[in-house]
Structure 1
Amino acid sequence: MGSPSQKKLRALEAGDESDRISRLPDDLIHKILSFLDAKAAVQTTCLSKRWKPVWTTLPFLNFGRYHNSSPKNVSDFICNVLRNRNHHSHVFSLNFRVKCKDVSPNLLEEFVEYAISHDLQSLRLELLDDHKPFKLSTFSSKSLKKLELNLRLQECALESDCWDLPALTTLRLSCVRGHESHSRLNSWLKDSVFTCLPALTRLSLHNWDLSQLFSFSLPALTRLRLSHCTLPTTVWDFPDLLSLQLDGVGLPDDMSDILFALVKLKNLTLILPSTQRDYFISCPPHLLNLSITGSFCHHGNIWSNIVVSAPKLCNFTAFGIFATTIGVPELENVNISLQGWFQNMELTCRKRYYRRLTNMLPGFCNAKNLTFDAESIEALNEISNLLQSLPSPFSELKYVKLPTGCKESSISSALRSYLLGGSPNATFVTKLPQIHGVEDSMLDASVEGTDKDQASSLGGQRDSGLWRGHEVNSEFVGLLDRIMHKYPETFKHFTTKNKKLCTMNLNMLCTSLNDLFKISMTNVDSEMMFAYKEVISYLQNQGFNLTWVVDRLTYIEHLRFSKPLINELYSIECHIDDAKTKLQDLQSRAADAKTKLQDLLAHVDYAKTRLQAKQSLRTEKLSEIKKAFGTTDAKLVVGFIGDDLLSNP
């Protein structure tokens, strides 16, 4: 049986085995407790002696609503946490979401000040009732990186009350209006709110009036979300902005003035307000992804008409039904979703609105891939009788992606004809094929060998032409004719056993050569040359004689890398350009100097003329004096009284 001490030891060992979590290091336990409210974290002290000090060093503190606690108990609890923490421990994250009547603003400010002094990095402060406004300077911190505020801020002279947040990268500000100002938005957000945030990359503003801003400028900002805000009238200065979301804001009919300065913008999300009106969206040149959520309208045929101009747009997402015209040369993907847009409306009522899809879908006529959710497929099937009499608008379509659980057999014949009738080679799929780059497509073509993969590998080339019995992209026909005329040996051993593979290889050859012809010598590097050699090697294995291309690549490599002559030439050309610039500057300065010299000479001539006139006038006056007073010395007339009285005879 063993002694009592041995039994106790075995019991302790068994207890340790059943309580493995207690043996975890404090850092890992802190991470687990970070998902709990501070009240639950403190209650872990009753588990064992091991747990009693754990919460006192917890760097993640969350304070919830505490619906079942009295205001005094909530306030006392927060005070006790603040008083009994291990004050040598950091507070990396502080999260308050409490009722204002439960906690005084002074206590919250005290806790925030305490956390900031302990290397606070993330602060979220959300007050659920009306309260006394906070000063901006309350949140000044050298370590704070993320700040979320859903509360009232003082309307005051921000020059004297501003925050200092040099490390802040993420800011979310939600305006909470007091009882006296429910009818209007606060309008105190001034320029100085943003000029003190040099590292800010993400900004989200909700319910603010920004019309008082003289400058809306954040040089490091990459993501911006404005929700139910009054937009600033000044020019937006966000040189590195990549993503913009405008949610329920009053947009102008023409958005060019807002978007033209956002030169790097790639992602744009628009959630339109309930007002039904027309919009013209002229997108920045590098925009790739556009998402528009239309507002549902119960009033008959009143609905938005949206015109989009985006030269490089690849992906468009439409949530809702609205007329859309997209001026895009090549539109890769269109995603249409209606889930939840009708706000749980009965099917019999929704059917009245489904017919609007017949005005919406033709706007995507140049789409390559269409993706529908379950509700949009349901809507299209419901209006099949209308679609039956309409021609298919989709002439460039490759794939129609069906939602999960939707089988191709459930698509009505009328809907099938409407979607695929304008593109005979298009098919229904449940998963879109991955689009590969040129090099990847060349390596994978021999395995896949399908027209769909070929289409993907060509980076959006869609029109087909006929070259010696092979269907190729129409723009390549002329290029193939020129190759055939100048290098006929290229196709001498080119086989045609598999027409699909041959067509793909011809397109691949032309795509590679087109890219090669557009490369400047200054941009050539060894990695690029290696990639092109791999491509050419693959094509030669497929039967092409590309000796003339290989010779050119070898010559370019030799010219670019074997000797520094080309670099020396570029260096000399740079010096020539500098000399030309300096010469132009000197010529400009000389022209300016010549103009100034001419001006000075004109002033000299003018001064001479005036001198001669004054001298002539002086002679006349002296002649008049001589006639009146005799032969008096002319010097005396303009000299001193005693002149010549004592001079020698």
Structure 2
Amino acid sequence: MNKRSHTLNLYTPNTTITNTDQHPQQDRLSSLPDILLILILSLIDTKLAVQTSTLSKRWLNLWTLLPILNFDSTSFPLNHTFDSFINNVLTHRNKSIKLEAVNIKVTDYDTMDRVYNYALLNHVLCLSVDCSDYLTKYRQLSCLNPSDCLTSFRLKGMLEFSGCLRFSGLVKLWLERVKLVETEPFSGFVKLRDLSLVNCKMGYDLGGVELAGFELERLRVSSCFYHPIPYEKVVVLAPKLVVLEIEGLIPMEFEACEFPRLETVHVDCCFSFGRVADRNVQQQQPDEEEQKVNLIRMLWCVRNAKCIHLSPSTVKLLTLSESKLVEEPCPFVNLKVLNLIPPPNKPVGELPSSVATYLLKGSPGVVVKSLPR
């Protein structure tokens, strides 16, 4: 164990911490073994963890043994103090301790790059980067340090994501407010099992995106678009998919391979019909008929699902599609449960007979229930 002691300058003159050496009786928390104290300190902001070093000799070096680092720029009044703090932590932490996870919320790209690359160089298992505050210009995410150790990656902010990132061991990936700059950005992550895309943008020249993952078991696509046009095409190649969640605008074209293992599908579509005042803006938006067709086509692609969750807006769009549903065969062949999610503080309305027939006629033993998500 590193015997050297390190007390960092936190640039927080108004922070006062009582030194327990002045008391003859040791507090209960300090009597816990190191392994439990380190676990507790790993759950809080690293700034607070470092501040505990002033409590007593018992706490002096505990923060240097942390396997998890949590950095939050909002707890620092100035950017340069945050950068200085990170520099001190990364310099003085005990290098013999395996770094398991790094979580950072930051407002400048340079600091983000430093922590990001440090984490990869130190073979971190879980990495979370949030640079969504105050940054308005997209920047390409670098890959100076490929890693086969990173298993979980959460990225939020104005960054460009492409398949050039070499994370061969990645299992779980969450992208939020990120811009996809390649049509097929995920096929290189051969172990990926859980993928979430939330409010992601697509490049204007892509025309759609291919979500390919031959080990992918869970996929969430929520409100992804390139402004002001909803994404034109989504192709899902995931033969081992078990759970699929689609939220927001229904893709103008949805294609998929067979999902023989599909268990659960959650559909929460939003839709808008162009108004006269917005006619110029809405020219490239799908009209009412297109949106109805898009939803019906997407439900056909998930026909092997055993449990379907439909939001109130999805049920409403199906209700508006009654005339089309009469001509459509029931998409589901293995359906066991249909869950109609109730609106907030309201009961679920009854399904029109044409909608009920469309959803249920292929599986007469379906259980219909109403439970919030």
TM-score, normalising length: structure 1: 0.40
Deviates more, 1:230-239 or 1:106-115: 106-115
Distance verdict in 2 for CA 1:418–1:195, change over 3 Å: closer
Q: Which residue number corresponds to residue 320 of structure 1?
A: 248
Q: Which residue number corresponds to residue 169 of structure 1?
A: 100
Q: Any residues of structure 2 matched to 1:129-278 within 5 Å, and which?
A: 129-131=76-78, 132=81, 133=83, 134-139=85-90, 140-142=92-94, 164=95, 166-177=97-108, 188-189=113-114, 192-198=117-123, 200-207=124-131, 211=140, 213-231=142-160, 235-255=164-184, 258-273=185-200, 278=207
Q: Any residues of structure 2 matched to 1:498-517 within 5 Å, and which?
A: none
Q: Quick check: 1:96–1:125 contact (8 Å CA) kept in 2?
A: no
Superimposed CA distance per residue, residues 335-380 of structure 1 (whole angstroms, 9 cap, x where no aligned partner): 23439x68xxxxxxxxx97982431231231422251244245424
Distance verdict in 2 for CA 1:283–1:420, change over 3 Å: same
Supply the distance in 1 between the matched residues of 2:321 and 2:62 (Cα, whole angstroms): 62
Q: Secondary structure at the match of 1:410?
A: coil
Q: Which amino acid in the other structure matches residue 365 of structure 1?
A: W
Q: Any residues of structure 2 matched to 1:6-85 within 5 Å, and which?
A: 75-76=15-16, 78-80=17-19
Distance verdict in 2 for CA 1:166–1:237, change over 3 Å: farther
Q: Quick check: 1:325–1:364 contact (8 Å CA) kept in 2?
A: no
Q: Which amino acid in the other structure matches residue 412 of structure 1?
A: P
The structure that is strand-richer by fraction is: 2
Q: Any residues of structure 2 matched to 1:525-540 within 5 Å, and which?
A: none
Distance verdict in 2 for CA 1:430–1:297, change over 3 Å: farther
Q: Which residue number corresponds to residue 457 of structure 1?
A: none
Q: Any residues of structure 2 matched to 1:396-545 within 5 Å, and which?
A: 396-403=333-340, 410-420=350-360, 423=362, 425-430=363-368
Q: Of residues 213, 221, 227 in structure 2, which corresponds to 1:284?
A: 213
Supply the distance in 1 between the matched residues of 2:226 and 2:120 (Cα, whole angstroms): 40
Q: Which amino acid in the other structure matches residue 206 of structure 1?
A: D
Q: Which residue number corresponds to residue 148 of structure 1?
A: none
Q: Which amino acid in the other structure matches residue 367 of structure 2?
A: V
The structure that is helix-richer by fraction is: 1
Distance verdict in 2 for CA 1:383–1:217, change over 3 Å: same
Q: Quick check: 1:317–1:336 contact (8 Å CA) kept in 2?
A: yes
Q: Quick check: 1:191–1:215 contact (8 Å CA) kept in 2?
A: no
Q: Quick check: 2:169–2:191 contact (8 Å CA) kept in 1?
A: yes
Q: How far is the alpha carbon of 1:254 from its aligned partner?
A: 0.5
Q: Structure 1 vs Structure 2: percent identity of aligned residues?
A: 15
Q: Which residue number corresponds to residue 19 of structure 1?
A: none
Q: How far is the alpha carbon of 1:419 from its aligned partner?
A: 2.2
Q: Of residues 307, 310, 331 in structure 2, which corresponds to 1:394?
A: 331
Supply the distance in 2 between the matched residues of 1:233 and 1:190 (Cα, whole angstroms): 20
Q: Which amino acid in the other structure matches residue 268 of structure 2?
A: L
Supply the distance in 2 between the matched residues of 1:420 and 1:317 (Cα, whole angstroms): 20
Q: Quick check: 1:320–1:338 contact (8 Å CA) kept in 2?
A: yes
Supply the distance in 2 between the matched residues of 1:109 and 1:357 (Cα, whole angstroms): 61
Q: Does 1:311 align with 2:239?
A: yes
Supply the distance in 2 between the matched residues of 1:263 and 1:213 (Cα, whole angstroms): 20
Distance verdict in 2 for CA 1:354–1:248, change over 3 Å: farther
Supply the distance in 1 between the matched residues of 2:288 and 2:225 (Cα, whole angstroms): 10
Q: Quick check: 2:186–2:213 contact (8 Å CA) kept in 1?
A: yes
Q: Which amino acid in the other structure matches residue 403 of structure 1?
A: L
Q: Quick check: 2:243–2:263 contact (8 Å CA) kept in 1?
A: yes
Superimposed CA distance per residue, residues 54-91 of structure 1 (whole angstroms, 9 cap, x where no aligned partner): xxxxxxxxxxxxxxxxx97x622x24468767677644
Q: How far is the alpha carbon of 1:415 from its aligned partner?
A: 0.5
Q: How far is the alpha carbon of 1:249 from its aligned partner?
A: 0.6
Q: Which amino acid in the other structure matches residue 248 of structure 2?
A: G
Q: Which residue number corresponds to residue 646 of structure 1?
A: none
Q: Quick check: 1:206–1:226 contact (8 Å CA) kept in 2?
A: yes
Q: Which residue number corresponds to residue 116 of structure 1?
A: 62
Q: Quick check: 1:189–1:210 contact (8 Å CA) kept in 2?
A: no
Superimposed CA distance per residue, residues 434-475 of structure 1 (whole angstroms, 9 cap, x where no aligned partner): xxxxxxxxxxxxxxxxxxxxxxxxxxxxxxxxxxxxxxxxxx
Q: Secondary structure at the match of 2:149?
A: coil
Q: Which amino acid in the other structure matches residue 414 of structure 1?
A: S
Q: Secondary structure at the match of 2:295?
A: helix
Supply the distance in 2 between the matched residues of 1:328 and 1:82 (Cα, whole angstroms): 66
Distance verdict in 2 for CA 1:272–1:107, change over 3 Å: closer
Supply the distance in 2 between the matched residues of 1:353 and 1:417 (Cα, whole angstroms): 22
Distance verdict in 2 for CA 1:420–1:328, change over 3 Å: same
Q: How far is the alpha carbon of 1:292 from its aligned partner?
A: 0.8
Supply the distance in 2 between the matched residues of 1:262 and 1:119 (Cα, whole angstroms): 31
Q: How far is the alpha carbon of 1:293 from its aligned partner?
A: 0.7
Supply the distance in 2 between the matched residues of 1:191 and 1:412 (Cα, whole angstroms): 53
Distance verdict in 2 for CA 1:365–1:170, change over 3 Å: same
Superimposed CA distance per residue, residues 615-643 of structure 1 (whole angstroms, 9 cap, x where no aligned partner): xxxxxxxxxxxxxxxxxxxxxxxxxxxxx
Q: Quick check: 1:190–1:212 contact (8 Å CA) kept in 2?
A: no
Q: Secondary structure at the match of 2:170?
A: coil
Q: Quick check: 1:392–1:420 contact (8 Å CA) kept in 2?
A: no
Superimposed CA distance per residue, residues 122-177 of structure 1 (whole angstroms, 9 cap, x where no aligned partner): 554544343212243424434xxxxxxxxxxxxxxxxxxxxx36412122122134
Q: Does 1:330 align with 2:242?
A: no
Q: How far is the alpha carbon of 1:318 from its aligned partner?
A: 0.8
Q: Which amino acid in the other structure matches residue 313 of structure 1?
A: L
Q: Quick check: 1:171–1:203 contact (8 Å CA) kept in 2?
A: yes
The structure that has the greater radius of gyration is 1
Q: How far is the alpha carbon of 1:279 from its aligned partner?
A: 2.3
Distance verdict in 2 for CA 1:271–1:111, change over 3 Å: farther
Q: Quick check: 2:139–2:159 contact (8 Å CA) kept in 1?
A: yes
Q: Quick check: 2:112–2:131 contact (8 Å CA) kept in 1?
A: no
Q: Which amino acid in the other structure matches residue 326 of structure 1?
A: E
Q: How far is the alpha carbon of 1:326 from its aligned partner?
A: 3.0
Supply the distance in 1 between the matched residues of 2:250 and 2:349 (Cα, whole angstroms): 28
